[in-house]
Structure 1
Amino acid sequence: MLHETSRRRLLTGGLATLAGLPFGGVGRASTLFDPVPPLIPIRALPDRIFRTTVCLRPFRAAGPRIESERVGRKLVVHNYGHGGSGWSLSWGSAEVAVRLAMQAGDRDIAVIGAGALGLTAALTAQRAGARVTIYTKDQFPNVRSAWATGTWSPDSRVAMANAVDAGFADRWEAMTRRSFATFQSYLGAPGDPVEWTDRYTVSDLPPEQARGFYRAQEVTGFLHMGDRIADISPRSQLLPPGSHPFPTPTVMRNSGMSFNIAMLARQLTADFLMAGGRIEPVTFFSPTELTRLKQKTIINCTGYGARALWADESIVPVRGQIAWLIPQAGVTYGLNYKSVSVLARRDGIVVQDMGPNDGFGFNDTNETVDIGAAFASVALLAELYERPVPAVSPRTDP
């Protein structure tokens, strides 16, 4: 599955790159990259949906809240509000939060929450020499982080351009680069918790119109900073007719980092426990209840839950629904077609309707599954595979 950020980068970045190349038509572009491998069609059938989940991502116009406050005699460091970039920014924001937590020299740390932000903060604190206990209402697979799309998207609905302070972009870039580097260390690990896969954006429009279509889907105001990490972001490529199995005139290919969240969460949890960490089930209903903890320093990684726990109305829910298809042998690619985004992971093929623009689901608190919408998304994907691939006439160079 591709976030709006990834989809935009596929089309605008790839077409801009190709515009400056010294050849007369896209048909010659095939000499610049390796051929498209055989792509196994996804079995997009309703009876292969093994679950449907809804996740409310915690968006804050000013960006993630990573700062300290006093609650009684406790030091609480907040680390929440990452929008659609929780997994992607997790290691970088953990580094910032842990640095704040350990400034006073305390080496006994409590972490609230066991999602992506909680686990990475706990591990980062351990690696800095702290004893860490996680207090949490839920653990994987019953946390919202388990229902994420699982794609590298560090600036997906992370902030509003008119609401951030002057130093936000620099802080975001530092967190992004830190997270990117840390995730690379999981490549090749058993179970492939992190891996790079090919992604395809296919459109029934010709290339120039396709670029305009996706630009029209952007919601004015969201902060996009992908250009700051262009050196670690592969450029997309426009594939020439006949080089791919899709029945559309425009196909872009790129590579993206994905997280096989079931395996990644299991790995992070095991690493935390093996290093002497403890997980205690507990539910907090108000900040004052944190004063009962024995630890003097607490890192708050409650994600969307912080909206109720801390009465933080700056958190705006962004609803996303995923239809999960049974994993399919040999299917390891991502796909974007019309409003549907797909990402084949080891733990399931995630299918999501991204809506008419990147504001889809914004400020929607509904967590009820819409099975009709799930079936419609899978049906649209099936329609793509059922269309015949047009024949391509042999090209004769002058």
Structure 2
Amino acid sequence: MRLELDHGADFPRDRKVLIHNYGHGGAGITLSWGCADRVRELSAAALRETLKKQPATAKAVVVGAGVVGLTTAAELKRWAPMISVVVQAENVSPAGVPLPQRTTSWIAGGQFEPSGIWRQYYPYRMNDLHDLIRRSHHRILQLKRQGRQRQYGIVDRKNYILATEDGRGFELGIPRDIVPTPRQGLLPFRPLANVLGKEYSTWLINPTILLPKLVADLRAANVRFEQRSVRSRAELIGIDADIIVNCTGLGAGEMLNDAEVKPIRGQLVVLNNPSQLKYMFSGGCGDEAAYMFARQNDIVIGGTYHDCDNVEALPEESYRAVLARMQRIFSGDISECVTGRPTLPPQRCNLTRKVPTAGYAGSS
């Protein structure tokens, strides 16, 4: 992940600053508020020390309209309501709002856990990751104290994993005072009633509720959305603003020639949730993802986690294979998860496909 002030020699530091905030490795929803708070700190220091401006006379442009870009813009306005903020993105409708089907975080699962990204920090930079987690946690607690958490799609959820899994995203990525040590015992699902598992207390953060709410908040705060494609560093630093925040995610790789940015495919199957299930399961299959998040109005099932070089449509049967694996688990067959044997062929990057609710085997 890159979260820093850009000190490039080609940048006109005397009249604008560039801040990078991208590469969140599948944990953008978890880290977004924490990273946004760090951007707020960098922006305040830049205005004070470099630009010699007050927020009321400054203009900030946030490039990118995923969860990271939207929370960054929102936190800048919350910090300094008089600052001028513009969100620029390639996929903005004529009405001036982001197009959700074009941005990965609009279709993400939404659990509060630094899935995947913790590996970039382990073992020597875990304090840095924990700092960002604490900042996100602090903002969510603020929303909860205000009684506004549900407006942002945030609800308490229990997450279950198999006892054979190590839960490293929870165990290493999150301090114990935020997500406590898990309870251990038999899983509370009828077909798995004799299977040992672990129970973590965390949050569901539903992006289908969160992101529209952030957009509404920004529009109410007079933040403009502008359609713009930024393809190169020269175009990025050419933006007319005092503060430019690069939240372009995957696009930053090509734009900045950043070899550390690599696309990852994550398959999702989205089902209805007529029984209003209220738990999450992320407990298996070794290095193969197998998770189920019961959200307010739907159920998200995943999936796969593969490096990939291009984006192409996957056949319907590959999504049904994801669903079938979760059916087997919730029917009581965890053999493939215990052994860690992958059951899906490697895939070659974040797509979603709706399938009928028939055949969902989960129970509570």
Question: What is the alpha-carbon distance in structure 2 between the residues aligned to residue 371 and residue 184 of structure 1?
Answer: 40
Give the structure 2 partner of residue 352 of structure 1: 302
* Equivalenced residues, count: 303
User: Is the Cα contact below 8 Å between 2:33 and 2:72 reproduced in 1?
Assistant: yes
The farther-off stretch of 79-88 and 168-177 is 168-177
1:155-178 CA distance string (max 9 Å, x none): 53344357x8x6x33222221101
Residue 128 of structure 1: CA displacement?
2.3
Residue type of the alignment partner of 1:68: D
Q: Which aligned pairs between 1:353-372 and structure 2 lie closer than 5 A?
A: 353-354=303-304, 360-362=305-307, 365-372=310-317
Q: Percent identity?
A: 25
SS at match of 1:103: helix
Residue type of the alignment partner of 2:43: A
Question: What is the alpha-carbon distance in structure 1 between the residues aligned to residue 312 and residue 4 of structure 2?
Answer: 26
1:290 aligns with 2:236: yes
Greater radius of gyration (CA): 1
User: Is the Cα contact below 8 Å between 2:3 and 2:19 reproduced in 1?
Assistant: no
Give the structure 1 partner of residue 327 of structure 2: 382
1:102 aligns with 2:23: no
Residue 318 of structure 1: CA displacement?
2.4
Give the structure 2 partner of residue 146 of structure 1: 106
The unaligned stretches of length 5 or more in structure 1 are 1-62, 203-209, 355-359, 389-398
Q: Which aligned pairs between 1:199-210 and structure 2 lie closer than 5 A?
A: 199-202=159-162, 210=163
Residue 140 of structure 1: CA displacement?
4.5
1:317 aligns with 2:263: yes
Question: What is the alpha-carbon distance in structure 1 between the residues aligned to residue 103 and residue 245 of structure 2?
Answer: 17
Residue type of the alignment partner of 1:283: S
The one of 148, 154, 161 equivalent to 1:194 is: 154
Residue 372 of structure 1: CA displacement?
1.8
Change in Cα spacing, 1:154 to 1:269, as seen in structure 2 (3 Å) is: same
The unaligned stretches of length 5 or more in structure 2 are 48-52, 92-97, 334-364
1:173 aligns with 2:144: no
1:232 aligns with 2:178: yes
Give the structure 2 partner of residue 14 of structure 1: none
Residue 365 of structure 1: CA displacement?
4.1
1:214-237 CA distance string (max 9 Å, x none): 35x98xxx99733x6111113322
Residue 375 of structure 1: CA displacement?
0.4
Change in Cα spacing, 1:267 to 1:255, as seen in structure 2 (3 Å) is: same
Residue 346 of structure 1: CA displacement?
1.9
Give the structure 2 partner of residue 392 of structure 1: none
User: Is the Cα contact below 8 Å between 2:34 and 2:132 reproduced in 1?
Assistant: yes
Residue type of the alignment partner of 1:136: A
User: Is the Cα contact below 8 Å between 1:115 and 1:140 reproduced in 2?
Assistant: no
Change in Cα spacing, 1:304 to 1:332, as seen in structure 2 (3 Å) is: same
Give the structure 2 partner of residue 111 of structure 1: 62
Give the structure 2 partner of residue 68 of structure 1: 6
Q: Which aligned pairs between 1:322-333 and structure 2 lie closer than 5 A?
A: 322-333=268-279
Residue 347 of structure 1: CA displacement?
4.4
Change in Cα spacing, 1:261 to 1:277, as seen in structure 2 (3 Å) is: same
User: Is the Cα contact below 8 Å between 1:159 and 1:223 reproduced in 2?
Assistant: no
1:284-303 CA distance string (max 9 Å, x none): 11121235432132010001
Change in Cα spacing, 1:77 to 1:316, as seen in structure 2 (3 Å) is: same
Residue type of the alignment partner of 1:77: I
Question: What is the alpha-carbon distance in structure 2 between the residues aligned to residue 283 and residue 229 of structure 1?
Answer: 38
SS at match of 1:239: strand
Residue type of the alignment partner of 1:173: H
The one of 101, 105, 128 equivalent to 2:79 is: 128
Question: What is the alpha-carbon distance in structure 1 between the residues aligned to residue 326 and residue 230 of structure 2?
Answer: 42
1:81 aligns with 2:9: no
Residue type of the alignment partner of 2:5: E
SS at match of 1:170: helix
Question: What is the alpha-carbon distance in structure 1 between the residues aligned to residue 223 and residue 86 of structure 2?
Answer: 6
1:122-164 CA distance string (max 9 Å, x none): 11111221211111112241211112221111253344357x8
The farther-off stretch of 170-179 and 289-298 is 289-298
| CA root-mean-square deviation | 2.9
Question: What is the alpha-carbon distance in structure 2 between the residues aligned to residue 272 and residue 380 of structure 1?
Answer: 40
Question: What is the alpha-carbon distance in structure 1 between the residues aligned to residue 297 and residue 315 of structure 2?
Answer: 22
Give the structure 1 partner of residue 206 of structure 2: 260
Question: What is the alpha-carbon distance in structure 2 between the residues aligned to residue 199 and residue 103 of structure 1?
Answer: 39
Question: What is the alpha-carbon distance in structure 2 between the residues aligned to residue 198 and residue 289 of structure 1?
Answer: 45
State TM-score, norm by structure 2. 0.74
1:269 aligns with 2:223: no
Q: Which structure is richer in relative contact order (CA contacts within 8 A, separation 6 or more)?
A: 1
1:137 aligns with 2:90: yes
1:325-363 CA distance string (max 9 Å, x none): 123242121124643210011242110135xxxxx4135
Question: What is the alpha-carbon distance in structure 2 between the residues aligned to residue 236 and residue 87 of structure 1?
Answer: 22
Change in Cα spacing, 1:157 to 1:172, as seen in structure 2 (3 Å) is: closer
Residue 99 of structure 1: CA displacement?
2.0
User: Is the Cα contact below 8 Å between 2:88 and 2:226 reproduced in 1?
Assistant: yes
